[in-house]
Amino acid sequence: MEELLKKMAKRKHIVISICCLLLVFVIAVFLAFYKNNKILFAHDYPQIVKNGTLKVIVEPNKMSYRVIDMDSIVGLQVKMIERFAEDHNLKVEFVEENDLSKAMEMLDANEIDVLVWHIPVYDELKNKISYTIPVFTSRQMLIQRKKSETDTTKFIRNQLDLAGKTIYILPGTVYKQRIEHLSKEIGDTIHIKEIPNADPSDLFKMIVEKNIDYTVCDEFVARVLLKDFPTIDMGTAVSFTQNYSWGINPASTILKDSLDSWLAIYLESKDYNRIYRQYTGVP
């Protein structure tokens, strides 16, 4: 009898082990299937229409997204995405984030639908996000104090003079990638330091107060900020003119088509020209 009980216990242990292995196998197969077939699980335009809300993640800055009060949000890209939502009978839910890498993680996890950001179209990002057609073109500019006889800091007009210098940027931005490329282009080291929990205006203030000497900023954002920081110079480009687009989850193909079709018409409209001039300062 004792021998029989031992055999039954052993058999039960084997059955449990096999079941556990099968469960692990099924989970592994599902995860592999999900990873390679995200389109089947995508939160695409039909689901957005059904829910009635477009979730948009934005980078806070004076040009694209700025909260005036509880009932007033302004900015070029805010107004554009609101126009899209109005034309498609959707409400917009904005989520603020300064770190692009975190924003892209949220996009990949379908926590948000559209990445409305100052994103230059980089080939390195195309395996992570799907770009809409270009929303506008811009450049990345070196931000520094204006040349002064009382300021001993090197004033930069030639990119070669950035050799050995330290540029301060926000974490998770595309500027790091651009500075690394520029460092290779000039054949010398450009040091990069990240300042967390800040926004572009904070970095401008730090330059004015001489806590740091250099940062990099999108040309349009910098132009808007110059109104508050007249002692800042933004005359040195560190990139060529680039296309800037919104980011979509690669699996959200219907949403991308909807945005592209709408943008193709809206970018030629008088309404777009009006708000573009309003927020960029371009005549």
Is the CATH code 3.40.190.10 the one for domain 40-137+244-280? Answer: yes
- Mean pLDDT is lowest, of 22-31, 106-115, 122-131, 211-220, for 22-31
Measured CA to CA, the distance from residue 75 to residue 87 in angstroms comes to 18
At 159-216, the pLDDT tens digits run: 999 999 999 999 888 899 899 999 999 999 999 999 998 889 999 999 999 999 999 9
3-class secondary-structure state, position 139: coil
Which strand (E) or helix (H) includes residue 37? none
pTM: 0.75
Q: What's the token pair of residue 212? A: 């740091």
At 16-34, the pLDDT tens digits run: 656 555 555 545 444 444 4
Phi then psi for residue 56, to 5 deg, are -125, 130
Q: How far, CA to CA in Å, does 256 sit from each of 45, 60, 90, 172, 233?
A: 8, 23, 16, 24, 37
Same fold, 40-137+244-280 and 140-239: yes
Q: What is the mean pLDDT of residues 86-94?
A: 95
User: Is residue 252 within 8 Å of residue 42, measured between CB atoms?
Assistant: yes
Domain ranges in the chain are 40-137+244-280, 140-239
Q: What's the token pair of residue 21? A: 């292995």
pLDDT at 35 over 50: no
pLDDT at 139 over 90: yes
Cα of 64 vs its chain's centroid, Å: 12
The pLDDT value given to residue 173: 84
At 205-247, the pLDDT tens digits run: 999 999 999 999 999 889 889 989 999 999 999 999 999 999 9
Residue 108: CB atoms within 10 A of its CB come to 15
Q: Which CATH architecture has domain 140-239?
A: 3-Layer(aba) Sandwich (3.40)
The pLDDT value given to residue 14: 60
Which strand (E) or helix (H) includes residue 221? helix 219-225
Closest CA to 214 of 227, 196, 195, 230: 195
- Mean pLDDT is lowest, of 9-13, 67-71, 163-167, 240-244, for 9-13
The pLDDT value given to residue 251: 94
3-class secondary-structure state, position 170: coil
Angle at CA of residue 89, ends 116 and 280, nearest 5°:
35
